[in-house]
Amino acid sequence: DNINVGFIGLGNMGAHMARNLVMAGYKVTVHDINENTMKKFSDDGIPTKHSPLEVSESSDVIITMLPSSAHVLDVYNGRNGLLANGGHLGPWLYIDSSTVDPQTSRKISMDISRCTLKEKKAYAEKPMMLDAPVSGGVPAAEAGKLTFMVGGLEEAYLAAKPLLLSMGKKAIYCGGPGNGSVAKICNNMAMAISMLGVSEAFALGQNLGIKASVLTDIVNCSSARCWSSDTYNPVPGVMMDVPSWRNYDGGFTSKLMTKDLDLAMASASGVGFKCPFGSQALEIYRKLCADGCELKDFSCAFRHYYAGKDE
């Protein structure tokens, strides 16, 4: 395809995503504030630029994969940011795949809808924005098997689909601006709560004398069966090739889970909604991070409920 893609944020996830786009034949230009990261790309012959604004000058589509809301706002609205040239934009499509709160996605979408295109494009009269956060961690990013949850105009989603499917296996349209971010933070809040529920129940079971492997067999053909029990079991030794099998290394860190719960709780309070289990989960994950587990997989919460008896 002849689409020029500007990719900003070449971290654990973004670097793989950008490389998958290159492999799919897109002309990709990249930017990151980390010069070492940029050098790896320029060494491989992938053009690099020193600011988001410069990237936008040679791109039709922009993809951002940044740590959090503040970074995304900086890349869009900061000095030499994507929108720094007075509202006349080169790119016609902006896709933010960072995990951010829906309010941030909606703000940027609104900012972009107020801009115009420097040149009218066949596919778009106005610049469009999608929030398209992902599920699947670094291995899925590397293998091009991410799932994208997409919010924004449906025509933008349809135009973006081939690009998204060069980095992922699935793209699901979630509705208007911000709804991709809504889907992402709600999924992760439910995942945190179910992981804590499974952990607490298994810790109780052990304290009452049942073997974790037997309880797993029961739960997995009973009504408490869920991803945390049948695919990502938090009890060491029950399942092979999951983080609990290898001292909770690898996987989805407690730090990222804390970040996502923070976003969910901030978004909830933004609309005056209370999430008692979500806020309890956030407290537990904050404590796990403070206790030195921030780089351990989030299923290490099991140890928290097991009262540290094994340590």
Q: How far is the CB of 16 from ligand NAD (least distance, A)?
A: 9
Length of the chain: 311
Crossing angle of helices 276-288/179-207, nearest 10°? 70
Residue type, 165: L
| Identity of the residue, 30 or 196, whose beta carbon is nearer to ligand NAD in the bound complex | 30
d(CA 274, CA 132): 25
Query: How far does Cα 72 stand from its chain's mean position?
Result: 13
Token representation of residue 42: 């320029």
Q: Which is nearer to ligand NAD, 259 or 286 (CB)?
A: 259
Task: Report the C-alpha gap between 99 and 128 in whole angstroms.
Answer: 19
Q: How far is the CB of 253 from ligand NAD (least distance, A)?
A: 8
> By C-beta, is 99 or 216 nearer to ligand NAD?
99
* Exposure letters 237-275 (e unless 16+ CB within 10 A, then b): ebbeebbbbeebebbbbbbbbbbbbbbbbebbeeeeeeb
Beta strands 128-131; 146-152: pairing state: antiparallel
Task: Provide the minimum distance between the beta carbon of 49 and ligand NAD in the complex, in angstroms, as a whole number.
Answer: 10
Nearer to ligand NAD, 12 or 207 (CB): 12
Of 98 and 229, the one with the shorter C-beta distance to ligand NAD is 98
Catalytic residue set = 184
Nearest approach in angstroms of CB 136 to ligand NAD is: 7
Structure tokens at 180: 């991709």
Tokens for 204?
């109780």
Closest CB 65 distance from ligand NAD, rounded Å: 5
- Listing DSSP states for 71-100 in one string gives HHHHHHHSTT-TT-STTEES-SEEEE-S--
> Using CB under 6 A as the criterion, which residues of the chain lie in contact with ligand NAD when the complex forms?
8-14, 31-34, 37, 65-68, 71, 74-75, 98-99, 134, 137-138, 252, 256, 259
Distance between CA atoms of residues 88 and 109, nearest Å: 15
Nearest residue to ligand NAD, scored by beta-carbon proximity: 11
Integer Cα distance of 229 and 194 in angstroms? 9
